[in-house]
Amino acid sequence: MNLLSALPPGWPMIVGGVFLWLLPKRAQAGGALGLAILSSLLFWFTPVLGDGETAKTFSMLGAELQPIRIDSLSRPFGLVFHIAAIVSAIYALHVRDTRQHIAGMVYAGAAIGACCAGDLMTLFVFWELTAISSVFLVWASDTPAAYRAGMRYLIVQVGSGVLLLTGAIIQYVETDSLKFDLFVSEGQTLFGSDAISPAAWCVLFAFAIKCAFPLLHNWLQDSYPKATVTGTVFLSAFTTKLAVYSLARGFAGFDPLITVGCVMTLFPIIFAVIENDLRRVLAYSLNNQLGFMVVGVGIGTELAINGTVAHAFCHIIYKSLLFMSVGAVLFRVGTAKATELGGLHKSMPWTTAFCMIGAGAISGFPLLSGFVSKSMIISAAGEEHMFGVWIVLLIASAGVMEHSGIKIPFFAFFAHDSGKRVKEAPWNMLLAMSIAAFSCIALGIAYPLLYRLLPFDVDYHPYTITHVVTQLQLLMFAALAFVALMKSGLYPAEQRAVNLDTDWVYRRLIPKATRGGQVAIELVDQTFRHDFMLTLRSGLRMVQRSFNVNGWIGRTWSTSTMAFWAATLLAISLVLYYT
**Helix or strand run (H / E) with residue 285:** helix 278-299
Among 38-47, 315-324, 545-554, the range scoring the smallest mean pLDDT is 545-554
Query: Is the pLDDT assigned to residue 6 strictly greater than 80?
Result: no
Query: Is the pLDDT assigned to residue 405 strictly greater than 80?
Result: yes
Q: Residue 532 burial (CB < 10 Å; 0-12/13-18/19+)? A: exposed
Q: Do 506 and 449 sit in the same domain of this protein? A: no
Within-domain flag for 55: yes
Query: Is the pLDDT assigned to residue 49 strictly greater than 90?
Result: no
d(CA 357, CA 436): 9
Looking at the DSSP bridge assignments, the partners of residue 49 are 53
| Mean pLDDT estimate for the chain | 88
CA distances from 452 to 54, 122, 460 (A): 21, 28, 12
- What is the tens place of the pLDDT at every residue in 192-224? 888 889 999 999 999 999 999 998 888 999 999
In this structure, which amino acid lies at residue 396? A
Query: Is the pLDDT assigned to residue 2 strictly greater than 70?
Result: no
Within-domain flag for 202: no
Within-domain flag for 269: no
CA distances from 447 to 75, 239, 303, 310, 409 (A): 17, 25, 15, 10, 26
- Long-range CB pairs of 454-460 (<8 Å, 24+ gap) are 454/72, 454/76, 454/306, 454/309, 454/310, 455/71, 455/72, 455/73, 455/76, 455/302, 455/305, 455/306, 455/309, 456/72, 456/302, 456/303, 456/305, 456/306, 457/302, 458/306, 460/303, 460/306, 460/376, 460/379
- What is the tens place of the pLDDT at every residue in 420-446? 788 999 999 999 999 999 999 999 999
d(CA 158, CA 412): 35
Looking at the DSSP bridge assignments, the partners of residue 59 are 64
In eight-state DSSP terms, residue 415 is S
- What is the tens place of the pLDDT at every residue in 268-317? 888 888 888 999 999 999 999 999 999 999 999 999 999 999 999 999 99
In this structure, which amino acid lies at residue 566? A
d(CA 194, CA 534): 63
Q: Do 220 and 108 sit in the same domain of this protein? A: yes
Residue 213, phi then psi, degrees to nearest 5? -60, 155
Q: Do 367 and 222 sit in the same domain of this protein? A: no
Among 182-191, 295-304, 455-464, 534-543, the range scoring the smallest mean pLDDT is 534-543
Query: Is the pLDDT assigned to residue 565 strictly greater than 90?
Result: no
Choose the final residue of a domain: 480, 495, 510: 495
Among 151-165, 340-354, 474-488, the range scoring the smallest mean pLDDT is 474-488
Q: Do 105 and 160 sit in the same domain of this protein? A: yes
How many angstroms from the chain centroid is the CA of residue 163? 15
Q: Do 395 and 487 sit in the same domain of this protein? A: yes
Give the chain's domain count: 3
Q: Is the pLDDT higher at 508 or at 464?
A: 464
Mean pLDDT in residue range 229-242: 95
d(CA 4, CA 46): 10
Q: Do 507 and 366 sit in the same domain of this protein? A: no
E-strand stretches of 25-122: 56-60, 63-68
Q: Do 460 and 436 sit in the same domain of this protein? A: yes
Mean pLDDT in residue range 389-400: 92
Question: Which pLDDT belongs to residue 555?
Answer: 66
Question: Which pLDDT belongs to residue 21?
Answer: 92
Within-domain flag for 187: no
Confidence at 52, pLDDT banded by 50, 70, 90: very low
Choose the final residue of a domain: 197, 226, 244: 244
Mean pLDDT in residue range 100-124: 94
d(CA 289, CA 167): 27
- In terms of Cα–Cα distance, which of 164, 355, 362 is closest to 249? 164
d(CA 18, CA 26): 17
Question: Which pLDDT belongs to residue 551?
Answer: 66
Dihedral angle sign, alpha carbons of residues 219, 222, 224, 228: negative
Q: Is the pLDDT higher at 200 or at 577?
A: 200
In eight-state DSSP terms, residue 48 is P
Question: Which pLDDT belongs to residue 481?
Answer: 85
* Domain containing residue 7: 1-173+212-244
Question: Which pLDDT belongs to residue 293?
Answer: 96
Question: What does the buried/exposed string (b/e) look like for 113-144 if buried means 16 or more CB atoms within 10 Å of the residue's CB?
Answer: bbbbbbbbbbbbbbbbbbbbbbbbbbbbbeee
Mean pLDDT in residue range 81-95: 96
User: How many CB atoms sit inside 10 A of residue 505's CB?
Assistant: 13
Q: Do 390 and 522 sit in the same domain of this protein? A: no
Instruction: Give counts: helices (H), strands (E), the chain.
Output: 23, 2
Choose the final residue of a domain: 462, 495, 528: 495
Within-domain flag for 336: yes
Within-domain flag for 107: yes
Within-domain flag for 196: no
Q: Do 377 and 521 sit in the same domain of this protein? A: no
- What is the tens place of the pLDDT at every residue in 256-271? 999 999 999 998 888 8
In eight-state DSSP terms, residue 142 is -
Q: Do 430 and 380 sit in the same domain of this protein? A: yes
Q: Is the pLDDT higher at 564 or at 550?
A: 564
Confidence at 333, pLDDT banded by 50, 70, 90: very high
Is residue 63 within 8 Å of 178, Cβ to Cβ? yes
User: How many CB atoms sit inside 10 A of residue 555's CB?
Assistant: 11
Within-domain flag for 288: no
Give the chain's length: 579
- What is the tens place of the pLDDT at every residue in 128-163? 999 999 999 999 999 999 999 999 999 999 999 999
Among 109-123, 185-199, 528-542, 551-565, the range scoring the smallest mean pLDDT is 551-565
Q: Do 508 and 473 sit in the same domain of this protein? A: no
Percent of the chain with pLDDT strictly greater than 70: 92
In this structure, which amino acid lies at residue 418? S
Question: Which pLDDT belongs to residue 1?
Answer: 44
Q: Do 466 and 539 sit in the same domain of this protein? A: no
Question: Which pLDDT belongs to residue 494?
Answer: 64
In eight-state DSSP terms, residue 548 is S
Question: What does the buried/exposed string (b/e) look like for 456-492 if buried means 16 or more CB atoms within 10 Å of the residue's CB?
Answer: eebebebeeeebeeebeebbeebbeebeeeeeeeebe
